[in-house]
Amino acid sequence: MIDPVELLLVLLAGVGAGAVGAVVGSGTLVTFPVLIAFGYPPVVATMTNAVGQVAGGVSGWWGYRRETAGQGRRLLRLLPASVLGAVLGSWLLLHLPERVFRVVVPVLLVLALVLVLAQPRIQAWSRRRAERRGTGSEPRPRTVRLTLLVFAIGVYGGYFTAAQGILLIAALGLLLPERLQVVNALKVVLTLAVNVVAAAVYAVVAHDEIVWPAAAAIAAGTLVGGGLGATVGRRLPAPALRGVIVVVGAVGIWRLLATG
């Protein structure tokens, strides 16, 4: 049975993840290292975290519902790629040996932390591209490339959820003629789709390996944190929040390497 103090700390981590996710994205980089620090095996931590993060994704989608208006046809083209990628990624998590995950995840965590630090440049670059070319429909070759990228990011998200939103911002910003708000809204929906599919696969296939009290605590925390991030959190300096992510993520990497 999970310790009440541990459960409370996981809940607080969920609040932090929800607030960070609303401001700079990558809230997973708060909760995943916390679960690792409490001694959860990496695969168990990933599955538990994925299930808990769905609630925060729903909250994020609700906050961006206005920006997704008029994006139905585009989402119908991209969502199947995200869903199929998530299915493959979650299958890989469940079938590859855990030692592979222990080797790969520190590398993915470093990549995710680099992306968190680079996010302002990525967003500024996406904004400049959108302003230069205006809005309109994208040509077919660009649509094919974007679909393949979204599929690849879905595989990454199904296997390891952290920072997939930043990868999506880069891909969507590169290949879509849209303003950044719309790019963010599409990113939220696609990320939510990946998380829902991965969480559903884990819940059906490996339900006995998920730490359900911790998943529930993360879900409750991200719901509260998402609301805080939409109000108070956006008034805080984003560099400070990124610093928190990097510190917590570095602890998670150290814990993974120390227990490997």
Name the average pLDDT for the chain: 81
Residue 157 belongs to domain spanning: 4-259
Q: State yes or no: pLDDT of 126 exceeds 70.
A: no
Tokens linked to 259: 């227990």
Are 179 and 161 within 8 A, CB to CB?
no
pLDDT at 256 (0 to 100):
67
Q: State yes or no: pLDDT of 247 exceeds 80.
A: no
Question: Of the spans 128-137, 212-221, 236-245, which averages the highest pLDDT?
Answer: 212-221
80 — pLDDT class (breaks 50, 70, 90): very high
Q: What's the mean pLDDT in 1-26?
A: 82
pLDDT at 234 (0 to 100):
53
Q: Which residue reads 């969480």 in tokens?
A: 199
Per-residue pLDDT tens over the stretch 165-178: 777 877 887 777 77
Q: State yes or no: pLDDT of 134 exceeds 70.
A: no
Q: Report which of 14, 150, 6 is spatially closest to residue 74, judged by C-alpha positions.
A: 150
Residues 6+ apart with CB under 8 A from 168: 150, 153, 186, 187, 190, 191
Q: State yes or no: pLDDT of 189 exceeds 80.
A: yes
Q: State yes or no: pLDDT of 143 exceeds 60.
A: yes
255 — pLDDT class (breaks 50, 70, 90): low
Q: 3-state class of 65 per DSSP?
A: coil
pLDDT at 63 (0 to 100):
73
Report how far residue 239's alpha carbon sits from residue 8's, in angstroms, rounded to the nearest whole number.
26
pLDDT at 85 (0 to 100):
97
Question: Of the spans 38-47, 54-63, 230-239, 244-253, which averages the highest pLDDT?
Answer: 38-47
Total count of domains within the chain: 1
Residues 6+ apart with CB under 8 A from 14: 31, 52, 56, 217, 218, 219, 220, 221, 222, 224, 225
Q: What's the mean pLDDT in 144-154?
A: 92
Q: What's the mean pLDDT in 49-58?
A: 87
Q: State yes or no: pLDDT of 99 exceeds 70.
A: yes
Backbone angles phi, psi at 135, to 5 degrees: -115, 160
